[in-house]
Structure 1
Amino acid sequence: MAPVGETVKPTPTREVLSRAQARAALIPDCMVEARRLANTVIAGWHGRRKRGIGENFWQFRPYVDGESLTNVDWRRSARDDHTYVRDREWEAAHTVWIWADLSPSMMYKSTLALVSKESRALVLMLALAEILARSGERIGCPGIMEPIAARNAAERLATALMHHAATGGLPDTRMIRGNSDIVLFGDFLDPVDDVMARLGPLARRGLGGHVVAVTDPAEEVFPYAGRTEFTDPETGERITAGRAETLKDDYARAWAANRTALADNLRHLGWSFVPHRTDRLASEALVAVHMYLSGMPATLAREPGR
């Protein structure tokens, strides 16, 4: 159970509608922030470029024995007595599926955080959609929006989210085929075996996966002391600790073990893992995901548990 402190109450069925209304009110502000965030990193975005059939020049590279001589750029080769090939860029649009966990646990915001986990996940989701749309990629959201290639894809996704009921756990993903990427935003606080039971089948179908674990700083540093009541926002279950500070060391070990195990299991699938806290800049997570999607090592992504 995640430490949720004193500010989160159980969410009974009758509050589902009010939560949906609250999220609908939140999304316009998230869209504004997402566009601002996208503009801060768009200068470094060049899509997931690779060699292939197209009209646009991409790069010169050294000639490799066995290649057709018709690909050689003789004018460039004559400059320094080396043989170079002129590569063109593959222009086929790629499909990227984006999903965010909008279950009750994502509404949590401690006094240590800048925003709620839900708000941060929505901003990151919409900012990534904005960048991908500008790059000509096809964007979809499983269970919410079919893939589209349009400049206003992020805005259309935001509208679809406003009219969609809250989701807990991955929706139906049978429509997602291989040769696509899927980016998942959530807190991923369930047991690692349960998480991998949901994600493993996607990887085996050939999807490239990228998991962004959005957490509140209080969920990592455990700042509680004295008599504290913890409430599970998903089930309403409560646990009262007489001296919460005595749990801190055991909790820290369990937290680190969970994050490390999740990262290791995802790595074995060939998927990336980006831990992100809501007291950090949103651009850090967005840049890390951008680098993974571009096929580059995300050196700005922090290690699990940090």
Structure 2
Amino acid sequence: MASTIGQIVEQTPSSELLSRAQARATLVPDCMVEAKRIANTVIAGWHGRRKRGVGENFWQFRPYAEGESLSRIDWRRSARDDHTYVREREWEAAHTVWLWADMSPSMMYKSTLAIASKESRALVLMLALAEILARSGERIGCPGIMEPVSARNAAERLAASIMHAPLTTGLPDTAMIRGHSDIVLIGDFLDDADRVMERIAPLGRRGLRGHVVEIADPAEETFPYTGRTEFTDPETGEKLVSGRAEMIREDYQRAYFARRDALGESLRRLGWSFVFHRTDHLASEALVAVHGYLSGMPSPKPVGDRS
């Protein structure tokens, strides 16, 4: 997203929409491979969340409800008294999770300090989450791109949908989301916190349980520039030339961290989780943190330090 405080990044040449679409289509398959690798690493040793749903382990018996499939009835348990019982299994994921990653121009940025671009990291996190949640029976959807599906290949289907989706900017249209669901929003969220919350707060009031992952390049935090430097906002094309870039570092960092702190605090008041992730860190760190919030088991350590 464009920043109202001015996203200060190294100059990136403007790209035509077609070139950007082609670049994303080329990027997605590699991100899918990386997402599966990370998901396989993170999921090792994890167990069910001990709630009702589609897991493999027995959870409890409950009375049969009219209209349910007869195949769910446990006839041995039902034979013990005058009631008919259904055998429920352990819940690993029982409702829909909507996943969204920002694909606006600012996400294409990658400094020499980073492992990957913000766009690449956002896609890897989204697809890795889809892979993990799909394995546990979760319904996965992407606002405006893919309707929710419950399938083991949901991550691959999401990747294919992203490759052919139109280029958009800003937060997604969520009018299609009904009922109580989780939504994971992944982006750089460089707009003022108040503007971001104007879009997010109504989702919370509709009953959505939300999780925001802010992706940042390390250069956007540390501002390592010195001497005469030209900066370009990739969203608007506006330029800023500083004769001595190091002279504005302190003011820039003050505004940058104030925006993030305000956003995190507003999200917590809404009851949403907030995870900050830098692209010079391992993607698995953010993946574990977000999955913990989705599971109702957040990490005991705060996520989003400035180291």
TM range (shorter): 0.7 to 0.9
- 1:5 to 2:6 alignment: no
- Contact preservation (8 Å) 2:56, 2:89: yes
Q: Which residue of 2 aligns with 1:68?
A: none
- Contact preservation (8 Å) 2:48, 2:55: no
Q: In structure 1, the residue corresponding to 2:44 is in which secondary structure?
A: helix
CA change 1:197–1:304 in 2 (3 A) is farther
Aligned length: 275
| Paired AA for residue 202 in structure 1 | L
Q: Distance in 1 between matches of 2:24 and 2:245?
A: 32
CA change 1:47–1:125 in 2 (3 A) is farther
Per-residue deviation, 1:9: 2.4
| Paired AA for residue 41 in structure 1 | V
| Paired AA for residue 193 in structure 1 | D
Q: TM-score, normalised by structure 2?
A: 0.85
Q: Which residue of 1 aligns with 2:177?
A: 176
Q: Which residue of 1 aligns with 2:217?
A: 216
Q: In structure 1, the residue corresponding to 2:30 is in which secondary structure?
A: helix
Structure 1: segments with no counterpart, 5+ residues? 60-86
Q: Distance in 1 between matches of 2:7 and 2:56?
A: 52
Q: Identity of aligned pairs, percent?
A: 73
Q: Which residue of 2 aligns with 1:145?
A: 146
- 1:200 to 2:198 alignment: no
- Contact preservation (8 Å) 1:121, 1:185: yes
Q: Which residue of 1 aligns with 2:65?
A: none
| Paired AA for residue 260 in structure 1 | D
| Paired AA for residue 171 in structure 2 | L
Q: In structure 1, the residue corresponding to 2:98 is in which secondary structure?
A: strand
Q: In structure 1, the residue corresponding to 2:248 is in which secondary structure?
A: helix
| Paired AA for residue 3 in structure 1 | I
Q: Which residue of 1 aligns with 2:32?
A: 31
Aligned pairs for 1:210-289 within 5 A? 210-289=211-290
Q: In structure 2, the residue corresponding to 1:262 is in which secondary structure?
A: helix
Per-residue deviation, 1:254: 1.1
Aligned pairs for 1:25-174 within 5 A? 25-46=26-47, 48-51=49-52, 56-58=57-59, 89-90=90-91, 93-174=94-175
Q: Distance in 2 between matches of 1:194 and 1:233?
A: 19
- Contact preservation (8 Å) 2:54, 2:136: no
Q: Distance in 1 between matches of 2:104 and 2:48?
A: 31
Q: In structure 2, the residue corresponding to 1:293 is in which secondary structure?
A: helix
Q: Distance in 2 between matches of 1:21 and 1:150?
A: 27
Deviation per residue, 1:146-200 (Å, 9 max, x gap): 0000000000000000001222112221111231000011000011111000100
| Paired AA for residue 17 in structure 1 | L
Q: Distance in 2 between matches of 1:187 and 1:38?
A: 22
Q: TM-score, normalised by structure 1?
A: 0.85
Deviation per residue, 1:59-96 (Å, 9 max, x gap): 9xxxxxxxxxxxxxxxxxxxxxxxxxxx9634773100
